[in-house]
Amino acid sequence: MVSQNKNPKAIKSVFKKYLKEKATSTEHEAVNSWYEGLGKDSNESFNLNNQPEEIDNLGRSIKEHLIRHTKSNRKLVSLSIYIKYAAIFLLIVSAALTIRNKFYTDKLPNQERTFKSTDHAAKEITLTDGSIILLNVGSELIVAKNFGSHERNVSLKGEAFFKIAKNKLKPFIIKTGALRTTVVGTSFNINAYADLNRIKISVASGKVRVSKKTLTGEEILATSMTRDASLSFEKSTGKTLLKIERCELISSWKDSKLYIDNATLSEIAKQLERYYHLKVVFNPKIDKGKRYTIRFNQEPANRIMEILSMLTKTKFTYQTKQITII
């Protein structure tokens, strides 16, 4: 945030970064709040009852406003204009951000919210209850509109590592296809990508309960999974496997490590696409159903391809824009 300790050049720099869409999220929020207060007295109340989509449109408005005061009058505009705007900004930004934060805190729990990671980067989310979720690439978390009223309900597509804030009165429930994972306060990993036949839940700490939705109600698959317990559910057959294995390995994607977990060649191809953000050229006919498990500690891509080739007796090659498996 721009503070009173920053000089006019620093404030001007923030404005320029905003126009070039290079501002940090904090700077972006601060400039938006400053714009809302332009032309108002410092003791005037702020109208922040906009819908979230209307607030997002402020970006375009402030760009037009600043461009009119910079580019079109470049020769006439002096640093004093920025100082004038900065004075208004410094008077209102603290109060505006406080009110806006309250607005979002009050309004969002009554709306369904969707968080998405990109195909190239993970995304960390902190929910209103203090729970922290790290979404792996290509993943989506939907937070129910009644989150926190009696239960804390979310839906996951993809993979995520959860650190759930403890609340015995309000269980945290994650929906992944037909499965329901219920916790009070714990940490665990869920892999539930749509293009994989398997949903896997692995516990790092605490206790986890897993159930399956059925036509007549609910079937309990695991009542009390504890540290390093894992549950694998085959979507096509409904088969469930409970075992003990290190959650640290299964969730090692958080540390940018590659762990191939009892995967077929088809599943390895999909995992490599997500890990390297590259197209994988692969003929499914060479997949004979054999499964492989191996871990890597950030070795170079060509070395990983070499090891996978030896392990699977199949040729893996890494190029600039694609991986080929033949």
How high is the pLDDT of residue 36? 56
DSSP string covering 246-302, please?
Answer: -HHHHTGGGGT--EEEEE-HHHHHHHHHHHHTSEEEE-GGG--S--EEEE-SS--HH
Cβ–Cβ < 8 Å for 137, 118: yes
Task: Say whether pLDDT at 56 is over 90.
Answer: no
- Helix-helix angle 25-36:79-107, to 10 degrees: 100
- Give pLDDT, residue 320: 84
Alpha carbon distance 220, 129 (integer Å): 26
Task: Say yes or no to pLDDT of 164 above 80.
Answer: yes
Of 252, 210, 260, the closest CA to residue 230 belongs to 210
- Model pLDDT, residue 28: 66
SS3 199: strand
Q: Write down the residue that tokens 């939907």 correspond to.
A: 142
Nearest to 249, CA basis, from 240, 265, 239, 262: 262
Cα torsion for 2, 106, 208, 266, to the nearest 10°?
A: -70
Helix (H, G, I), strand (E, B) or coil at 42: coil
Tell me what the mean pLDDT of segment 98-114 comes to: 57
Which of 322 and 23 is assigned the larger pLDDT?
A: 322
Is the whole-model pTM more than 0.85?
A: no
Task: Name the token pair of 76.
Answer: 């006439």
Q: Which amino acid is at 123?
A: K
Mean pLDDT is highest, among 23-27, 103-107, 239-243, 297-301, for 239-243
pLDDT in tens, 34-55: 655 554 443 433 343 444 444 4
